[in-house]
Structure 1
Amino acid sequence: MPTPSESVIQYHNRTKHQLNAYAKGPESLDWDDQPNPFRRFSGCETVKLPLPGAELSCAFADLDKPELIESQPLNLSNLGLLLELSFGLSAWKQFGPDRWALRCNPSSGNLHPTEAYLLCTDPDLMQPGVYHYVSHDHHLERRGRFTADTAAREVYIGLSSIHWREAWKYGERAFRYCQHDIGHALAAVSYAAACLGWSIELLGETADADIAAWLGLDRSDDFVATEHEAPDLFCRLHAAHAADGEFSTTHLPELAQSAEWFGKAERLSGRHFYRWPIIDEVSAQAIKPATVAERITLPSLDLPQPSHNLPASSLIRQRRSAQHFNGKSPDLPLADFHRMLAALLPNAKPPFSAWNWPAQVNMVLFVHRVDGLEPGLYLLPRTTNAAAELKPVCSADYVWQPVEAPFEFYRLTAGNVRQAAKTLSCHQPIASDSAFSLGMLARFADNVEAEAWRYRRLFWECGLLGQILYLEAEAAGVRGTGIGCFFDDAVHGVLGLKDNGWQSLYHFTIGEPLDDSRLQTFPAYAHLS
């Protein structure tokens, strides 16, 4: 019988795309039975939130110094704004008869497996209980009402995943993408909180079973069996910059046990023609137990001003995933490139202020068109010892030439790497027509063999870094997009890696977008007014 770590590694190897074969997925897509992108619970009281769309005064560059942003009052209006800027709609798109929503938090295939919950114990804000956020309607559904009392006055945000939503399109590899999306969502809520002068504290020690109990996710009769939600992360909201005194979650089990629960999840799909039992199996093997609380000290970092320093709330709402890039656009200015990479280094600004685990992911960059930088393959180490660890296990042909930059940065090899980037990213031109693309290289075997659940954490970190790149691209006047489809072992082969010590878990690309004039764009919440 394999151990949980062995099972997770087997899943990872099984779901790699290869140059001669893709990971197992549906042979065709049943578009008539595409999962509903909006989860709703029938039989729940709803709590209306003030109309979305309010703009905040802070600029995107202000988020570099979040301690200087004036804290807004914690009320229902601002709480609704936090949820909108994290998980709400950003626009509607239409092509012919097809119409779909975009959201502030990105998602693989725009399928949105991530669900967001509030757990509130502050009666001055709302009736204490558990609430589910419905982005389409911008309201809360009250899933649970606490009948026990507590002196604590707290607001928590919980995140979960509906694996079926991703698996409908991506098959066995979907579990990976769900974890990416959780990382994107955590970063999204961290950025949104900072816009309000608030912060998010990730309670990373919390066990999955506790999150499920506190949010009502373990109530199996309330969910369609194949559409259940897996608990992922649990965060505490600070409506001020400083952590406020002694704190404990010991009162939450009693509150959850005493709660009166309401509603049942509405079915997302009718047929479930394809089934992917491997996802349920790896999810069970990668369950997170309670762990020791970790808090890391992050350095401050002075970033150059972004070239497009828009109001942060506007920039968050305008974020899009580029579908095509202008392969003949001018070179990306070096200052913009440097700011993007510097923003990926662990530092005391959002979203790293909501991330309390040591960095495990480094960046391998395919540079195509950056002003003043020779095209080629580069490495951005994100920890002080990463380059020394990677150099002995990478290709002996690499030169490891230090590059002048405000951070540690190496050129591995010079030359045109556009075709390599395209081929490795499943032959997608978005990886070669951009200014640069990259792969996120994670310290893999040491983590997963130590604790199987860290597999998920590695993908969360990649998703968090992806969200940084999304917003930094917008602040540079360009656009980015995540790439989940790449040939895993071919990437490792190019780098000279020969085992599971390091694995590429996510790709990303940034450049000048080509907009499709056939698409119509409509306001996010016109249907509410």
Structure 2
Amino acid sequence: MNVAATQALSPADIVFAYHARTKHTLKRYAAGPETLDWDTQPNPFREFAGCARTELDLGADQLATSFAQACTPGGIAPAALTIETVGKLLELSFGLSAWKEYGPDRWALRCNPSSGNLHPTEAYILSRNVPGIIDGLHHYLSRDHLLELRCRSNDQSGAPGRLWIGLSSVQWREAWKYGERAFRYCQLDVGHALGALRYAAGALGWRATLVEDLTSTELAALLGLDRTDAFSGVEGEDAELLIAIDSAPSTNPAPEHGVPGTPESDRNQWAGQANLLDPHPLYRWPAIGQVSQATQGRGSGLRSDFPNYPPLQQSSEARATDVILGRRSAQRFDSKFRMSADTFYRLLDCLLDRPNAPWDVWNFAPCIHPIFFVHRVDGLDPGVYALPRSTAAAHALRRQLRGDFEWQTPERTPAHLPFVRLLRTDCRVIARTMNCHQAIASDGCFALSMLSEFDSIVSANPWRYRQLHWEAGLLGHVLYLEAEAAGLRGTGIGCYFDDALHEILGIATTQFQALYHFTVGRPLIDGRISTLPAYPGRRIQPFKETPA
């Protein structure tokens, strides 16, 4: 897509053209760098020079909240909103979970998963009357677990303490490795980050809500991402979304979720110069900037209400902190291990649209519908299965997919699960081939493709191209944490052959498109890689759960 061509296209046409050109095929991969020099990869940590810094205490490990309680609104009494509890929230959502070492190489893992562990997502907080935190806009530096004050607010109101979290994407971090397809991965990572924030909030008895009252331009201004002085000569950031944190859900069922006051615009109130992440970029990918511009905007939630599913049965007694900090992406799976049917159906149940974590943070009706490639699950024949997450989608998928599929509910499937068998077959070779020939797709107990309602949604509002990927990332985050709670592991897969998969399923239009793949099984651990503390040398503070 050259500049002249894109100027003649509508935003929706630009999105469709981008999506088509960034598909991997059996004959070629989407445009990306021809070589990678890992010694010169971009700095994984953004920071702002010249900002006042506030070091946050560590102490999430002292939280007693179970993972089941963190998933359930009202599961525990809400903690008071203070600098200490905000530190726990950030530690469990965007903080480091460990350092890894292998030979001379050392890299950090974070609580929010990322394609290639490249972490394009940045977190900002807007605080108002939070004890211990200066009112205004702060950037969270995960490497050091601290806040950088970007803009002090002069609002002297006596309103109750409030907190908002803004997310942005540094697209070059992904593009450095993945080329043009990187925009997709950035959006999936935003979905993972949203899920990470919702579960972390639940560990404190808090809730999180997407703020809908902002355009992309307004959010960029609110987070200071449009300030050319702060980003002169360095990689910019794309404004993604804003989340309101409600620290007293039990006493205020309809809290203020609106937009915080705009930070003081006086230039003297702003501080900080963003660091340069990659001094010698070898490639440019104009298609990323074009689709980014085409998907600016906003959308309003389309959810009417949650379906009437029975309450989710919580089976894990694990602590939320252990699950969240222990989450890893599996690199290899035990190809002989069989998953129990109870565990499998539990994972599926967690993907349904219910008023618990993380779906109570999501304002939109379900648009992502998994197709499962089952390899080794007790009581289930190997084969291809579907989980339509809405009745309308079930009808649409049946019209779109192959006419010879079965559409039969397997025996002993829980009555409320919309889970159907499409085809009995050993699909390990298919799963491996469709996922860029990766063994993790065939060695796990199952793999899945997240089919998204696509054409009509993007045509009506191109901004929702981002939002559809966020929903897919949310599903992936559920699978990551629920697998971890069950003693298993998951892995997100961004590399797959889009249209070859569609052809196998019988999809001949763009009404549905695959946006993300995933696989779950029992991991094989590489003992050569050392695991080190996330914040060595930092003092861990004891934490008492003080009700608000």
Q: Which moved more, 1:24-33 or 1:333-342?
A: 24-33
2:210 maps to a residue whose letter is L
Structure 1 pair 387–292 and aligned structure 2 pair: CA distance change class (3 A): closer
Corresponding position: 1:162 with 2:170: yes
Between the aligned partners of 2:260 and 2:166, the Cα distance in structure 1 is 16
Between the aligned partners of 2:280 and 2:69, the Cα distance in structure 1 is 48
Q: Indicate conservation of the 8 Å contact 1:296/1:356, yes or no.
A: no
Corresponding position: 1:234 with 2:242: yes
Structure 1 pair 512–361 and aligned structure 2 pair: CA distance change class (3 A): same
Between the aligned partners of 1:368 and 1:451, the Cα distance in structure 2 is 38
Deviation, structure 1 residue 226: 5.4
Post-superposition Cα deviations, 1:144-168, rounded to whole Å, max 9, x if no partner, equal: 1112444544210000000000000
Q: Indicate conservation of the 8 Å contact 1:438/1:507, yes or no.
A: yes
Determine what percentage of the aligned residue pairs are the same residue: 48
Corresponding position: 1:88 with 2:95: yes
3-state SS of 1:117 partner: strand
**Which of 138, 150, 153 pairs up with 2:145?**
138
**Which of 513, 516, 528 pairs up with 1:518?**
528
Deviation, structure 1 residue 294: 5.3
Between the aligned partners of 1:78 and 1:251, the Cα distance in structure 2 is 20
Corresponding position: 1:303 with 2:312: yes
- Mind listing any 5+ residue stretches in structure 1 that lack a counterpart? none
TM-score norm. by structure 2 comes to 0.93
Corresponding position: 1:260 with 2:260: no
Considering only aligned residues, what root-mean-square deviation do their CA atoms show, in Å? 1.7
Q: Note the 1:445-460 alignment, pairs <5 A.
A: 445-460=455-470
Deviation, structure 1 residue 475: 1.2
Structure 1 pair 304–266 and aligned structure 2 pair: CA distance change class (3 A): same
Q: Indicate conservation of the 8 Å contact 2:81/2:131, yes or no.
A: no
Corresponding position: 1:439 with 2:446: no
Q: Which moved more, 1:65-74 or 1:219-228?
A: 219-228
**Which of 245, 251, 256 pairs up with 1:247?**
256
- Mind listing any 5+ residue stretches in structure 2 that lack a counterpart? 1-7, 540-548
3-state SS of 1:309 partner: coil
3-state SS of 1:389 partner: helix
Deviation, structure 1 residue 220: 2.0
**Which of 392, 396, 400 pairs up with 2:403?**
396
Q: Indicate conservation of the 8 Å contact 1:149/1:255, yes or no.
A: no
Corresponding position: 1:128 with 2:139: no
**1:497 aligned residue:** 507
**Which of 473, 477, 481 pairs up with 1:471?**
481
Q: Which moved more, 1:220-229 or 1:487-496?
A: 220-229
Deviation, structure 1 residue 396: 1.2
Between the aligned partners of 1:508 and 1:295, the Cα distance in structure 2 is 26
**1:194 aligned residue:** 202
Between the aligned partners of 2:387 and 2:492, the Cα distance in structure 1 is 18
Post-superposition Cα deviations, 1:164-215, rounded to whole Å, max 9, x if no partner, equal: 0000000000000000000000000000000100010111342111111111
Q: Indicate conservation of the 8 Å contact 1:315/1:474, yes or no.
A: yes
Q: Indicate conservation of the 8 Å contact 2:234/2:276, yes or no.
A: no
Aligned residues: 526
2:388 maps to a residue whose letter is P
Between the aligned partners of 2:206 and 2:517, the Cα distance in structure 1 is 30
2:522 maps to a residue whose letter is E
Q: Indicate conservation of the 8 Å contact 1:146/1:258, yes or no.
A: no
**1:173 aligned residue:** 181
Between the aligned partners of 1:251 and 1:311, the Cα distance in structure 2 is 33
Deviation, structure 1 residue 297: 2.6
Deviation, structure 1 residue 241: 2.0
Q: Which moved more, 1:174-183 or 1:470-479?
A: 470-479
Q: Indicate conservation of the 8 Å contact 1:8/1:455, yes or no.
A: yes
Corresponding position: 1:415 with 2:415: no
2:488 maps to a residue whose letter is V
Structure 1 pair 348–259 and aligned structure 2 pair: CA distance change class (3 A): farther
**1:351 aligned residue:** 358
Corresponding position: 1:13 with 2:20: yes
1:215 maps to a residue whose letter is L
Between the aligned partners of 2:332 and 2:259, the Cα distance in structure 1 is 49
Q: Indicate conservation of the 8 Å contact 1:137/1:528, yes or no.
A: no
2:433 maps to a residue whose letter is T
Corresponding position: 1:312 with 2:320: yes
Structure 1 pair 399–197 and aligned structure 2 pair: CA distance change class (3 A): same
Post-superposition Cα deviations, 1:460-516, rounded to whole Å, max 9, x if no partner, equal: 000000000000101111100000000000110011000111000000000010111
3-state SS of 1:400 partner: coil
Post-superposition Cα deviations, 1:414-456, rounded to whole Å, max 9, x if no partner, equal: 0100000000000000000000000000000011100111101
